[in-house]
Structures are given as structure tokens and as C-alpha cells.
Structure 1
Amino acid sequence: MSSCTPETATIDEHGTSVPTPSGPGRHPVVTALALSAGTAALVGAEFIPAGVLPGMAEDLAVSEGRAGLTVAATALAGALTAPTIASILPRADRRVVLLSLLGLAIVSNLVVAVAPTLAVVLAARVLLGVAIAGFWSFALSVGVHVTGRAALVSTTVALGTSTATIIGVPVSSVLGDVIGWRAVFLVISALTLVAGGVLWRLLPPVPAQPGAGIAMMRVVLGNRRLVVGVVVIFAAAFANFTAYPYIRVAIEAIDASVVSVLLLAWGLGGLLGNLAGGALSRWLRWAATAGPVIMACALVLLGTTEQTAVLAIAVVLWGVGFNMVPVTTQLWVSAIEPRRVESAVALQVTAFQVAIMSGAVVGGLLVDHQGPSAAMLLGAGVGSAAAIGFASIAVRPRAA
């Protein structure tokens, strides 16, 4: 049982929250890390195809561009789920919802592990998309309800995303070469089960926000500043995901001997980016701008170089730049709609998932017809536009 009495905490324009008491015996950092573990398991599964793409494509007898649609299918389901799940479950205990979503992800990964065709893989990945979008939509509000510390929760949940890039891409790439891509999905199923056990043990029951559902989403959609910001968030995410599913292909085109090392470097850069995003959240407008700027510069380098040293610098900077985006944008939407965090974050998640879906499709077409450099350069251009967008929008909370 939880003694957390507030329904949610408010978040100001600096990305900090009005304190909310923690559940008895639960340290805020431990709770936030438990949510981070769930995020890591889900996002790790989402991006496994980027690490095992050549083997998956060969086994399923499709092109690498078509195999990249396994990322797009997940994102499509996520885009449809994020803005609607609170309406479907307006009163459900958020602890139960989060645990159920992790269970759904386990089912998805097990089906992918035995799927005979690309069509079956895509169908299973739809289930994963539902799990990811729902988990992301509720994780911040759940974490803030229990801990009262928005910047901590946002940073650690996004830290799970960066950790997942280490699990989902470089480690899966190595494991896929050793044990096969299907076995990698069995491994992530086991990790997801462990993450669910941790959350089951540590999270108290968490009630839904008052008024959660269609009415709250309708009010949030009336916030023009938020809606414009969500479009900019889409651009920042699209810039990344036009290129990211094909990162292994891009590295191999320059120096195949450093694939595993540079995939790991991307993830480590991502950890740094997450921490930087949280540390700079006091200057939220400019922190949100910095991520796309760094990412765009990195993608230009990656799309134009043939030198391994420059390639390495570009990959690390890419990891830093993009992984500032989930932290800063989650705080950004929460700062603008501090009393409707669930719905505001749901729109952020929707923007990400639509961007992942459309980016993977557009990137796949470019990779198949023009090569990976074209995908990198398109990402750089859209990332630059996103940076201009964030710099142009003042972060002011909506009046209650």
C-alpha cells in the first residue's frame, strides 16, 4: 500500500517539480532506476533489428531496407497507442498497467524468436509497440507521483533508453553473430522478465491522474504552444530515426572492422547525453535546442567522411546529441502542461513513435536506392530544422 497522497506533482518551466512525498521505504533513486530498467528492456527490444539487420534480412529472405520495417511496425503501433491508452484505461492502477505492458513485450519477443516470415515478425512487433508507447506514457507521471522529482525520473528513464542502445544494438550485433538473431530475442525476453520482477517488487499502487482520459487529452490539444512543440519533437526524432536503424550499414560502408566498437561508443555517448540533458534542464529551452544541433553536426560528418577517426567522432557525437532529446523534450512538454503530465507526455511519445515509423521507412528507401550516406544527410537537415524550432519557442507553463 502506498501513502502517496497527491495525484501528481506539478512541474515548472525549469523542469523541476513541486515535491511529492515518496512511498514508505522507497528511495527516489531506486524507484526511478526500476522504471529505467523497464524502459531499457522495452527499447532494447525495439532496436535489436538495427544490430542484427543483415542476418535477419538474409534469414527472412528480404532486403535490409525491408527488414528495417520491423522498427517501423513497432513505431506505428506505438503512435496509435500513446494518445489513446489513458482514455482506454482512465482509472486503472498504473502499476498494474506497467507490469502488463512488460508482459506483452515478452510475448512479442518470443513470437519474433520463432517467426517463419517477415509478416509474422511485423505482427509481433506491433505488440511491442503497444507496450513501449504505454510504458513511456505512464512512466514519468508514475515516477513523479512516487518520488516527487521530475528531473530525476526523466533522466533515469531516458538513461534506460541509452542503456538499451548498448543492449539493443552493439551487444545484439555481437550476440547475433555468435548465437543468431533469433536467440537474441530470447535473451531480451528474459531481461524483460527480470525488469518486470524489479518493478513488481518496488512500485506501490499508483492511481490514475484525476480526469485522465479523453477530456484531459482534449484540453491538452488546445495548448497551441505544446502542439507546435510536439511537431518540433517529431522533427528531432525523425532526424535520428531516418538514420539510426541503418547505423551498422553506414559504419560497415566505411570500416567494417570497427562496427562493434563504434556501436558501443554510440551507446556510451548516449549515456553522456542523457546526463547532460538532465544537468542542463535548468535552461530547458537551450538544452532542447542543443541536442538536435549536436546530432545534425554528427550526421553531416558521418554522411561525408571516409576516415575511421572522423567516423568515430561522428558516432559518439550522434549518441550524445540524440540522447539529450528524450530527456529534454519530456521535461519540456511537462513544463508547459504541468497539471496534465500523462497526456502531455503521451503526445511526446506519439511524436517519437510516428517519427520512428516514418523515419525507418524513408531511411530504408534511401539506403536501398542511394546508400546510407543519403539517410545520414537527410537526418542532418531535419535535425537542423528541429534545433531552430526549439530555439524559437519559449518554455512557459500553461496557467492552471
Structure 2
Amino acid sequence: MNTRQQADTAQKKPQWGAVFSMALGVFGLVTAEFLPASLLTPMAASLDASEGMAGQAVTVTAIFALLTSFFSASATRSLDRRWVMLVFSLMLIGSNLLVAFAPNLTFILLGRVLLGISIGGFWTLAAATTMRLVPEAMIPRALSIVFSGVSVATIVAAPMGSYFGHLIGWRNVFVAAAAIGLLGLIWQGAALPKMPPNPSSQGSSLFSVMRRPRMQTALLAIILLFSGHFAFFTYLRPFLESVTGVGVNGLSAILLGFGGANFAGTLIAGVLLERNLHRTLIATPLAMGLMGIGLVAMGSAPLADAVLVALWGMAFGAVPVGWSTWITRTMPDEAESGGGLLVASIQLAITIGAAAGGVIFNVTGAKGVFMGSTLALLIATLTIYAALRCKPAMAEIKSDRLS
């Protein structure tokens, strides 16, 4: 690693203001992504469209986030990262305003395409940008702060969107989301330093990065892990209603506990990852798998199930932070391309988890989905162990520096 890169990735003072501005940007992105789920009915009614058609606002966002994750790093490689992140935040604002004032469904879909590009680009570059804001040893802690924006948005976006949609109308909710994006843009403009293109980046394609040692095994583990989680999360409500037997109030309390524990797990992850990255990466899917076994075995035990769901949420809080940290340590020279592969793998896993979960649910019910999810997580644990049992990533990096 040359002198300029060392200076870039190991700031004398961590720039926490910039890190928190990134967290606010992430909160705005995820909030905007989740809003249609809670506003689908009034949106469809006011646009004279079916709920199925309005639901495509979610689908088109995911598709373009996936496509953007493949190309954003290479397409913006020669640009100052500060300006690239600001442009993605500007796209977030434009997307929300386009949806808020859309005269028909076509304009809403255009706005959601813009959001998908913003999500795919921002997420792809988030880890690589964060590693340039703090010293190397503090990267896990900084990433846990950035990813806490996801946890907060997960907790508040859907219920708050539904609540305020009833009070002020769905269009004004998107105006409010645009205001959150504007706050993030202003803070980022004030806090993010100039970040010229990384001089050590080799401009590798995603396919060449994928051929690096252990990368393919790691990507398989990531897909298994996230597929297992999203199959679980997608069918959590049917499980709690049909197997645990909770009512609406109990369901809301358990989901709130899941969100709160997920937020706590994201913050705790920074400390755990600083102590031992590999053990944390292996322990999280193992813990989630054990929680899944417990949920299936306990049956209708509301209190025990609530605790297990919360513990699952806490364990999952460390997953995005952990794998983003692994990318920054394993390939600091191509962290942006690695981030693109991570985002693409997660988007693919969401699709696989939801689709496979639906097939299993139709055949065996919610318990079968949880059993399949648990199996995927335990296989992911073994796959991660296989990927990390070789020479530690940091040892490889130090070897590269010496050579």
C-alpha cells in the first residue's frame, strides 16, 4: 500500500461527523424503500390502479438497485467520491418528490427507478467511503454507525409511514421523506471531505474480483445467509399468527422487539468485529440457526418466541456490518467493486429467500419455512468456516504490503 493510500485510509482523526452523515443518508434511503409497503392501498386508490400494479414500485426499485450495484463503482471510478455520494443523495430527494407529485403510476415507477439507482450506488460505495473516513482499526465501529441507519429505518418506516399517511396523505409522507434526504445531503455536503479516486485501485471488473481467493466461497455463504434470513423474516408474521398464536398487539410488540434488538446488535457488532472479525462472522449465522431451531421446537410459547425473535434480530444486526468489514480488510484496493458484489449478492438472496420461502410455505406451512431457513443458515456457517479457515485476510494484506 503506497504512502498516499495509507494517508487516505488512516486519518489522524476519525471524521465522525461524516460517518453520521452517511448514516442519515442510509436512513433516508431505506425509509424511502420501505414506504410503499405501508402506503400501497391509498397509493393504488388515488392513482386508479390495482394494488398489484402499485406494488411494482417495490419490484422496480430492487431491480435497478441490483443493476446499479454491478456498474456504479466502475462508472464513477475517476470521480471524487464526495461528489458521487452527494449525487446519489440528490437522486434520493428527486425520487421522493417525483413520487409525491406523480400524476399517474408511470411517474411513480420512474421515481422508484431513480431510487433504485441511488440505493445500488450508495450501498456499493458505502463501505469503501467509510474506510476513508476513519483509521483502519475503527472501520468496524464506523460501519456499525452507518448501518444503524438501516435498523432505525426498519423500525420506524412502515409504522410511521402508515400512521402519517392516514393523517396527512401518502403524498405528503413522500415529501417528508424528501426532506429527510435534503437534511442528509446538507450534512454530507458539510462533513464529507474531498476523496479523489483511490490511486491503488486497479480498475478490476467484478468478475476478476470474484475470482480472488475465497471470494466465491464467501459470496455463496452470503447468499445462503441472507436467503435464510429473508425467508424467515418474510414469513415471520404467518408463523407468529398460526403457530405461536399471538394477536395483533402481540405481533406488533414482537416485531418492535425484533427491530430494537436489531438496532442494538448493529451497534454491538462494531465492538465485536474489532476484537475478532472471523469469529463474529461465523457466530452470527450459527446463532440465528439455533434461534430457528428453538422457534420450531418451542411451538406456541409467545414469551419464549418473542425472546428468540429478538435474539435473531440482534444476531442479524452484525451481519451487514461484518461482511462489509470483511470486504474492506480482504480487498482494500478494490473495496468498491467488492461492495458491488456484496450488494448484488444480497439483492439476489432477497429474491431467492422470498421465492423459496413461498414455495415451502405453500407445501409445509410456516414451520417448514423456518426449518428451511435454519438449514440454509447452518450450511452458511460451515461455508463461512471453509472460506475463512485459510490464512487470515489481514495477513494477506500485510504480505502484499511487504511485497
After TM superposition, the structure 1 = structure 2 runs for residues 335-354 of structure 1, keeping only pairs within 5 Å, are 335-354=329-348
Greater displacement, 390-399 / 247-256:
247-256
CA distance in 1 between partners of 2:56 and 2:295 (Å): 23
CA distance in 1 between partners of 2:372 and 2:34 (Å): 20
Amino acid of the residue matched to residue 264 of structure 2?
Answer: L
- The structural deviation recorded for 1:285 is 1.5
The residue that corresponds to 2:4 in the other structure is 6
CA distance in 2 between partners of 1:245 and 1:52 (Å): 18
The question of whether the paired residues in 1 share the 8 Å contact of 2:57 and 2:112 is answered with: yes
Identity %: 30
**Residue segments in structure 2 that go unaligned for 5+ positions in a row:** none
List per-residue Cα deviations over 1:110-157 (Å, max 9, x = no partner): 344466877765554332222112112222222222322312221111
CA distance in 1 between partners of 2:373 and 2:56 (Å): 18
After TM superposition, the structure 1 = structure 2 runs for residues 55-74 of structure 1, keeping only pairs within 5 Å, are 61-62=50-51, 70-74=57-61
The residue that corresponds to 1:292 in the other structure is 285
After TM superposition, the structure 1 = structure 2 runs for residues 79-158 of structure 1, keeping only pairs within 5 Å, are 79-113=66-100, 121=108, 123-148=110-135, 149-158=138-147
The question of whether the paired residues in 2 share the 8 Å contact of 1:98 and 1:135 is answered with: yes
- Aligned CA distance change for structure 1 residues 116 and 372 (closer, same or farther; 3 Å): farther
Amino acid of the residue matched to residue 244 of structure 1?
Answer: F
Amino acid of the residue matched to residue 286 of structure 1?
Answer: R
RMSD of the TM alignment (CA)?
A: 3.3
1:390 aligns with 2:380: no
CA distance in 1 between partners of 2:172 and 2:362 (Å): 27
Greater displacement, 106-115 / 138-147:
106-115
- The structural deviation recorded for 1:331 is 1.1
List per-residue Cα deviations over 1:206-260 (Å, max 9, x = no partner): 1122264743645422313022102211221122223435555655553212343
Greater displacement, 239-248 / 30-39:
239-248
Counterpart of 2:258 (choices 255, 266, 274) is: 266
CA distance in 2 between partners of 1:314 and 1:326 (Å): 20
1:328 aligns with 2:322: yes
Higher Rg: 2
CA distance in 1 between partners of 2:172 and 2:363 (Å): 31
Greater displacement, 236-245 / 85-94:
236-245
Counterpart of 1:19 (choices 10, 14, 18) is: 10
List per-residue Cα deviations over 1:301-349 (Å, max 9, x = no partner): 5567444323422331221121110011111122221332222222212
Amino acid of the residue matched to residue 235 of structure 1?
Answer: L
The question of whether the paired residues in 1 share the 8 Å contact of 2:201 and 2:333 is answered with: no
- The structural deviation recorded for 1:197 is 1.3
The question of whether the paired residues in 2 share the 8 Å contact of 1:39 and 1:160 is answered with: yes
Counterpart of 1:255 (choices 236, 240, 247) is: 247
Amino acid of the residue matched to residue 396 of structure 1?
Answer: A
The residue that corresponds to 2:303 in the other structure is 309
The residue that corresponds to 2:150 in the other structure is 161
The residue that corresponds to 1:276 in the other structure is 268
TM-score, normalising length: structure 1: 0.82
How many pairs does the alignment contain? 383
TM-score, normalising length: structure 2: 0.81
List per-residue Cα deviations over 1:144-197 (Å, max 9, x = no partner): 223223122211112122122123234335445655555443332221221111
The question of whether the paired residues in 2 share the 8 Å contact of 1:6 and 1:20 is answered with: no
The question of whether the paired residues in 1 share the 8 Å contact of 2:127 and 2:325 is answered with: no
List per-residue Cα deviations over 1:23-45 (Å, max 9, x = no partner): xxxx5222211111111111222
* Greater helix proportion: 2
**Residue segments in structure 1 that go unaligned for 5+ positions in a row:** 11-17
- The structural deviation recorded for 1:78 is 1.9
